[in-house]
């Protein structure tokens, strides 16, 4: 059997086949990257299942399970196309997460600060771009469909991943986009372009967002274009509670993907539990954070004034006495 060695031409042929099958350019670029990553790892060695399994362990150490699975999916597809099914491996099992990390979740207040800083520094294009993506929930790759014609109609027909969906533009957004286009003398075509008239790509937008993050007081780790789309999804779901409708708006074929977008942080969930107010008993009506007697005494001074008759012995112990309206602190 001939040695199975991956070459650059083989990867290009496979990506060409993906293009013929009308797969999105983003997917093709991602597969091209991962396949070359494995080719460099193999370093001329013949491909075997054992080699792929070792690479799988390397991916576990270097990337998140989701990213590692993307790389393995690219490799498995490549192997199947060349008839190397015996080299395919299983994907990493990923447990469904109930909550997202608060350190990666962009809040509405942080988003507002980013927009204000961009405007304050004279970057009107970035300021409006952030608002466009966040207010209608489109992908960065779909900005090219925000054209002068789409603004005139208040509707953009977005073609992404072989699926066409209708995206409505609000009145306020259209007014801002029209004013921006007039100022930049853009009379047709895409609105968000570089100085040379080329479409803005993800790397340019990512770099500009990172540049303003520190001045806006926002953790750079949570400042990236796709997080604006996540913010749109969370705000929409908090108001409408319609996951199926949100999936249609975002262009998701599976509601499970949409659930990831609407995932809240553990801190938000904890605040919701507190608001439910279903805990009847409290530990002596004294918060657990009060360690010293003096701090508990000061707490009782303010807290017990709002309380009805209860915990009399505890209150008296800390120098308070009951009245008809609550507790008052004794002169001690």
pLDDT in tens, 46-77: 999 999 999 999 999 999 888 999 999 999 99
Distance in angstroms (rounded) separating the CA atoms of residues 236 and 246: 8
Report CA torsion sign: 167, 173, 177, 179: positive
Give yes or no for a contact between 312 and 328, defined as CB atoms under 8 angstroms apart.
no
Residue 201 has what pLDDT? 84
Nearest to 326 by CA among 308, 312, 310: 308
Q: What is the DSSP letter of 305?
A: G
User: What sign does the CA torsion over 315, 321, 323, 329 have?
Assistant: negative
* 8-state DSSP, 159: E
Its sign, for the CA torsion 253, 222, 151, 245, is positive
| Statement: residue 290 has pLDDT above 70 | no
Cα 136 to Cα 146: distance, rounded to the nearest angstrom: 11
What is the percent of the chain with per-residue pLDDT over 90, rounded to a whole number?
55
DSSP 227-286: HHHHHHHHHHHHHH--HHHHHHHHT-S-HHHHHHHTPPBHHHHHHHHHHH------STT-
Is the confidence at residue 103, as pLDDT, over 70? no
CATH 1.10.443.10 fits 108-267, yes or no: yes
With 80 as the cut, is the pLDDT of residue 264 above it? no
Q: Which of 184-188, 242-246, 290-294 has the lowest mean pLDDT?
A: 290-294
- E strand or H helix that includes residue 313: helix 312-317
Residue 329 near residue 301, CB atoms below 8 Å: yes
What is the pLDDT confidence band of residue 252, given thresholds at 50, 70 and 90?
A: confident
Q: Which of 49-58, 92-101, 118-127 has the lowest mean pLDDT?
A: 92-101
**What is the arithmetic mean of pLDDT over 222-246?**
89
C-alpha angle 174-24-98 in degrees, rounded to nearest 5: 80
Alpha carbon of 156 to those of 149, 151, 218, 328: distances in Å? 8, 8, 31, 65
Residue 242: predicted pLDDT: 86
3-state secondary structure of 156: strand
Q: Return the percentage of the chain with pLDDT > 70, whole number.
A: 79
Q: What is the pLDDT of residue 282?
A: 60
What whole-number distance in Å separates Cα of residue 141 and Cα of residue 226?
10
pLDDT-based confidence at residue 257 (cuts at 50, 70, 90): confident
Q: Among the ranges 146-155, 278-287, 295-304, which has the highest mean pLDDT value?
A: 146-155
When pLDDT is cut at 50, 70 and 90, the band that residue 116 belongs to is very high
Question: Where exactly are the structural domains of the chain?
Answer: 8-87, 108-267, 293-329
| CATH label, 8-87, candidates 2.40.160.10, 1.10.150.130, 1.20.1290.10, 3.20.20.80 | 1.10.150.130
pLDDT, average across residues 223-238: 91
Would the pTM count as exceeding 0.75?
A: no
How far apart (Å, rounded) are the C-alpha atoms in residues 294 and 301?
11
136 within 8 A of 170, measured Cβ to Cβ: yes
pLDDT of 293: 45
Higher pLDDT pick, 74 / 23: 74
Using an 8 Å Cβ cutoff, are 144 and 133 in contact?
A: no
Surface-to-core class of residue 98, CB atoms within 10 Å of its CB (0-12 exposed, 13-18 middle, 19+ buried): exposed
Q: How confident is the model at residue 251 (pLDDT cuts 50, 70, 90)?
A: confident
In what helix (H) or strand (E) does residue 183 lie, and over which residues does it extend? helix 171-183
- The confidence score (pLDDT) of residue 325 equals 54
For the chain, what is the mean pLDDT?
A: 83
Which one-letter DSSP state was computed for residue 320? E
Residue 106's Cβ-count burial label (10 Å; 0-12, 13-18, 19+) is buried
Find the angle CA(72)-CA(75)-CA(81) to the nearest 5 degrees: 140
Q: How many residues does this entry show for the chain?
A: 332
pLDDT tens by residue, 187-222: 999 999 988 888 888 888 999 999 999 999 999 999
What mean pLDDT do residues 34-44 have? 94
Banded model confidence at residue 232, pLDDT cuts 50, 70, 90: very high
The answer to whether 30 and 74 are in contact (CB under 8 A) is yes
Beta bridge pairs of residue 159: 164
Alpha carbons 141 and 325: distance in angstroms, whole number: 63
């Amino acid at each position: 059997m001939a040695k199975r060695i991956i070459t650059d031409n083989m990867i290009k042929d496979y990506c060409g086949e993906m293009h013929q099958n009308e797969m999105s350019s983003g997917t093709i670029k991602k597969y091209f990257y991962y396949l070359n990553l494995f080719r460099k790892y193999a370093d001329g060695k013949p491909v075997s299942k054992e080699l792929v399994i070792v690479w799988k362990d390397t991916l576990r150490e270097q990337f998140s399970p989701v990213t590692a699975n993307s790389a393995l999916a690219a490799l498995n597809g490549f192997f199947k196309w060349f008839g190397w099914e015996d080299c395919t491996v299983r994907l990493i099992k990923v447990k469904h997460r109930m909550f997202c990390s608060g350190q990666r979740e962009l809040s509405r207040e942080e988003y507002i600060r980013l927009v204000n800083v961009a405007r304050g520094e004279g970057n009107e294009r970035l300021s409006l771009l952030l608002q466009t993506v966040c207010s209608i929930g489109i992908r960065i790759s779909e900005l090219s469909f925000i054209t002068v014609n789409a603004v005139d109609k208040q509707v953009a027909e977005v073609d992404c991943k072989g699926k066409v969906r209708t995206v409505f533009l609000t009145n306020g957004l259209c007014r801002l986009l029209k004013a921006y286009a007039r100022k930049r003398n853009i009379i047709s075509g895409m609105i968000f372009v570089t100085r040379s008239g080329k479409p803005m790509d993800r790397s340019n937008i990512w770099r500009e967002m990172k540049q303003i993050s520190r001045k806006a007081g926002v953790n750079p780790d949570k400042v990236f274009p796709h997080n604006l789309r996540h913010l749109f999804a969370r705000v929409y779901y908090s108001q409408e509670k319609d996951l199926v409708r949100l999936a249609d708006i975002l262009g998701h074929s599976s509601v499970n993907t949409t659930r990831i977008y609407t995932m809240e942080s553990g801190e938000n969930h904890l605040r919701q539990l507190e608001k439910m107010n279903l805990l009847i008993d409290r530990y002596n009506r004294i918060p657990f954070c009060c360690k010293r007697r003096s701090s508990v005494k000061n707490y009782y001074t303010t807290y017990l004034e709002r309380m009805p008759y209860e915990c009399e012995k505890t209150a008296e112990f800390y120098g308070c006495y009951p009245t008809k309206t609550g507790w008052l602190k004794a002169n001690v």
